[in-house]
Amino acid sequence: MKVKIMFAALLSALALSGLAAAQTTEPASASQSLVDLLPASNAVVSIDVQKGLNDALPKLLVGNPQIEAEVDQGLAEISSKIGPDALKFSDVVVGVGVQEVAGPAAPKVLPVFIARGDVSAAQVVAKATEASKTPCTERVVSGKTIYVCQMEVSSVKQKAKGASVSSATKILKETAFVALDANTVAFGAVSRVLDTVEHRSVVNPAIKGLLKDSPTTVAAFAMENVNGLEKLVPLENDDVGNALKNLRYMAGSADSVADGFVFSGLFRSADAASSKELGSLLSGLQAIGKAFLGNSNRADQKLYGRLINNVKIAQADNDVTLSIAIPQADVNALMAEVKIAK
């Protein structure tokens, strides 16, 4: 079980990182133009929704019919509650602002989502506001009507001592919605939606430049290291903690290719010495994984060992890059291992 958890964590890290060398020089895509609408953000995510729904998701789910049924049910529920237009968006970008809080409390994470597609933005906003638990208030800012609503969301509490599962409760969260144009909607934290409409700031070019954009990219992200990171991710005063503290930017992408997926990642440090230390650390972890799993007779551990061995790690100047190509047969085998708790 620990091996599965460790391997899942490795794949997640790869999926949430980006490879600068793979940046494209093609003209700006729809998702990139949406990034230009975001206010200044500590992290940006871009998603090609239709490529995800019609290409990546079927390839992921073909190896696990149980999860495929759960996902189909979830998509049907979204369509019935929010309307079929919810699945017609072509591109979505997310700009995350991180607001540091005094004391031991974790920083506030304030997102804004911008979605564009073959939809009526006014109808999408109207449908969303119908779900508000109290009447929405209206603000007119820069000629746009912003609706501030109280939306019911799930909040998962940590499981109590002796309990087998965590408990989930419903809470009200203030959320703003606005139609930016005929087919573009913005929603999220009220302050971030206001910033979007007023457009007084833009995304840092260093972050925008790390967002991979190519015909095969399903999702990509780029972020800067923020103050208060240790409150979100406990950092020990060791090699790993020091390497993470010296990071300045992280980026990543997930690409759906002819035979499976390619995950790539970039970690940009404050200086070349820190980057070299991080590269050595990751290479060392890879070697440990290969040694631990390389001689196993178990089919699942052989698979994990092979994939760990296929991770390409490179270090140059202030950057460490990672990439791994996972063929469809291995994607199917990995997904078959995933179980859904009843």
Q: Where residue 9 falls among pLDDT bands split at 50, 70, 90?
A: very low
115 vs 92: CA distance, rounded Å:
4
* DSSP line for 179-234: EEETTEEEEESHHHHHHHHHT-----HHHHTTS---TTEEEEEEEE--TTHHHHS-
Q: Where residue 190 falls among pLDDT bands split at 50, 70, 90?
A: very high
Looking at residue 280, what is its pLDDT? Answer: 92
The answer, yes or no, to whether residue 128 has pLDDT greater than 50, is yes
Looking at residue 341, what is its pLDDT? Answer: 66
Note the pLDDT tens digit of each residue in 27-68: 446 666 899 999 999 999 999 999 999 999 999 999 888 888
Residues 6 or more apart from 275 whose CB is under 8 A from it? 267, 268, 269, 315, 317, 318, 319, 320
Give the pTM: 0.82
126 vs 123: CA distance, rounded Å:
5
Looking at residue 187, what is its pLDDT? Answer: 95
The crossing angle, in degrees rounded to 10, of helices 272-293 and 299-310 is 160
Note the pLDDT tens digit of each residue in 231-273: 556 556 566 667 777 889 999 999 999 999 999 999 999 999 9
Mean pLDDT in residue range 104-125:
89
Looking at residue 269, what is its pLDDT? Answer: 93
Mean pLDDT in residue range 181-195:
95
Mean pLDDT in residue range 139-165:
76
Least confident of 80-94, 117-131, 180-194: 80-94
The answer, yes or no, to whether residue 203 has pLDDT greater than 60, is yes
Beta bridge pairs of residue 93: 46, 114
Average pLDDT, the chain: 83
Q: Which two tokens stand for residue 11?
A: 């794949």
